[in-house]
A and B are shown apart, each in its own frame.
Chain A
Amino acid sequence: MERVIFITTGATAPFPELVAKALSPECLAEFEKEGFTKVYLQCGDVLAEFQKGTYIPPQGTCRLSVEAFDFKNSLHDDMRLCQAKEGVRKQGLIIMHAGAGTVMDAMRLGLAMIVVANPALLDNHQDELAQELEDQNYATRSDVDGLAKAIRVALMKQSKPWAPQHATVKNIIDDVVGYQADVSSRLVLD
C-alpha cells in the first residue's frame, strides 16, 4: 500500500535546509523503516537545485520514489495524499514550514504534522506558532537538525484534531451592533 510523506516549504521564503535534511540518508532511512513509499515535495525556487540533482539520493540506496514541484495555488489536493484511504494508502505524514495558512489547512484535514520554523524568518513568529502547536498537541515541532527524531515521535503520537468551531465572529458582531441573540431560530436549528 502507498504511504506518502509530503514536504512543503511554502511560497514566501525558500527553505533549502529543510529540503536537504528531509532527503538526507538519515531521514530517508527513517521513512523506509516506517513503510513510506513516496516522498512528495513542494519546494518553491529550490526546485531548480533539486532538478540539478543536488538533493537526490545516490542510485540504489533508496527504494522511495521522490517527486517535486515548485508552487501551486492550492495544496489542498496534495495534502490529502497524506490522509488514509481504504485499500489505497495508509495515513501519511506532512512536514512543513510554520506558515499559518499551511498549518491551518493541514490541521483541518487532520494530518499527522511536523512543523519546522524557518530560521530565515526570525521575526515572522513562526517558531511561536510551532511551539504552541506542540504544547497543545496539534503537531510535532522540530528544528531542521532534529527532523529524523521528530519523524519517529510524530508517527507514535495521536494528534488532537481540529475541533468543530462553535464560536464565530458573526455572533460577536451581532452583539456589538445590538442584535439580540435569536433564541427561537437557534432552538429550531438545533
Chain B
Amino acid sequence: MSLPALRLITSALFLIITTIFLRATYILSRRQQKPSPKTGPSHILIVLGSGGHTAEMMSLLRDLDPKRYFHRTYIVSSGDNFSQNKAGEVERTIQTKFRSETKGKEKGRVSEEGMVDSETGIWEVRVVPRARKIHQPLFTTPLSSLWCLLNCFYALYGSSRSSKVAKGQYPDVIVTNGPATAVIVILSAKVLQFFGVAPLEKLKIVYVESWARVRSLSLSGRILLGWGVCDRFLVQWEGLARRLNGNGTRKRVDWEGFLVG
C-alpha cells in the first residue's frame, strides 16, 4: 500500500475514533442531568413479550394515567402468539381503571387502536420480526437480529411520525420487562440518539425485571444492566437487589418491593 493511502486511512480512523469518543463522553455526561420538569402529555413506548411477560406488564401498568401518557405505542414481535391482542388487553386494563369512577355510557368503554380519544388518548401496535425464532439455527441469528434491528428503527421512526403528542417527536420513555425484542428495541433507540437522529432527552429507558426472577437476572436483564443503558433498572426481590448491588456505594439496581399488584 502506498504511503499517502496509509496516511489517509490513519487520519480517517483517528477522526472517527475521536468523534465516537467525544460523542459518547457527551452522552454520558448528559445522563447525569435531571430531566427538565414536564407538565404536558407524553408518548410512552411499551415492549411486550410472550404470554407471561405480557400478563405481568398488564399488572405493572395497571394505574398508568392514559391522559398523561396520551400516546401509547406497543411493540410486539411477530409470531408471538396473540401478542397483538395482548396489547389490547393491556389497554383494557389501563382504560377500565381510568374510567372506573365514571358512570353511565362511558363506563367500561375502551378506545379502538389508532383512534384518538379526548380522555384516554391513542394507542397503537407496531410489529417487528423476532430476533430469533424458536429452533432457528444459531448461525443465522445475526442476520435475523439485524433484520429485527432495521425493523425496530422503522418502528421507532414510525412512532415519531405518528406521535399525537408532538408531531415528529420520539417517544419520551421506553418501558419493558425483559423479552428478547426489548434489547433490540433499546439498541436501536440508542443508535438513533448516538447519531443525533433522536434527542437525548427522549427515549429514556425503564426496565423492570420479571417478578419470576428471584435470584438471578434474565438474559435481557444481564445484557442491559451490563451495558448500563437504563435510566432506571428495577428488580422486584430484595435479595436479588442486594446481590447485584453488593456493598458498593453505587447502586446498580433499584428495589421498591413488588411492583406487580
Instruction: Verify if A101 is at the interface (C-beta below 8 Å from B).
Output: yes
Chain A residue contacts of B64, Cβ below 8 A: 169-170, 173
Asked if A178 meets B35 with Cβ closer than 8 Å, knowing A100-B212, A125-B213, A132-B215, the reply is: yes
Complex formed: what's the CA distance from A169 to B44 in Å? 13
Looking at the complex, which one of B56, B173, B212, B216 makes contact with A173 (CB distance below 8 Å)?
B173
Looking at the complex, which one of B42, B210, B261 makes contact with A168 (CB distance below 8 Å)?
B261
Instruction: Verify if A48 is at the interface (C-beta below 8 Å from B).
Output: no
Asked if A178 meets B36 with Cβ closer than 8 Å, knowing A104-B260, A128-B216, A168-B63, the reply is: yes
Chain B residues touching A, range: 35 or more
Nearest A-chain residue to B175, judged by Cβ? A173
Instruction: Verify if B239 is at the interface (C-beta below 8 Å from A).
Output: yes
Instruction: Verify if A29 is at the interface (C-beta below 8 Å from B).
Output: no
Chain B residue contacts of A167, Cβ below 8 A: 256-259
Instruction: Verify if A165 is at the interface (C-beta below 8 Å from B).
Output: yes
Instruction: Verify if B208 is at the interface (C-beta below 8 Å from A).
Output: yes
Instruction: Verify if B153 is at the interface (C-beta below 8 Å from A).
Output: no
Instruction: Verify if B135 is at the interface (C-beta below 8 Å from A).
Output: no
Asked if A178 meets B38 with Cβ closer than 8 Å, knowing A132-B237, A173-B206, the reply is: yes
Nearest A-chain residue to B202, judged by Cβ? A177
Looking at the complex, which one of A162, A177, A180 makes contact with B204 (CB distance below 8 Å)?
A177
Instruction: Verify if B76 is at the interface (C-beta below 8 Å from A).
Output: no
Complex formed: what's the CA distance from A166 to B259 in Å? 8
A170 pairs with B261, CB closer than 8 A: no
B212 pairs with A125, CB closer than 8 A: yes
Chain A residue contacts of B257, Cβ below 8 A: 163, 165-167
Instruction: Tell me, rounded to whole Å, the shortest Cβ–Cβ distance linking B67 to chain A.
Output: 12
7 closest cross-chain pairs (CB), A and B: A100-B212, A178-B35, A167-B256, A178-B38, A132-B214, A128-B215, A165-B261
Q: Can you list 15 pairs linking A and B with CB atoms under 8 Å apart? A: A100-B210, A101-B52, A104-B211, A132-B239, A163-B258, A169-B60, A169-B61, A169-B175, A170-B61, A170-B63, A170-B64, A173-B44, A175-B232, A177-B35, A179-B38
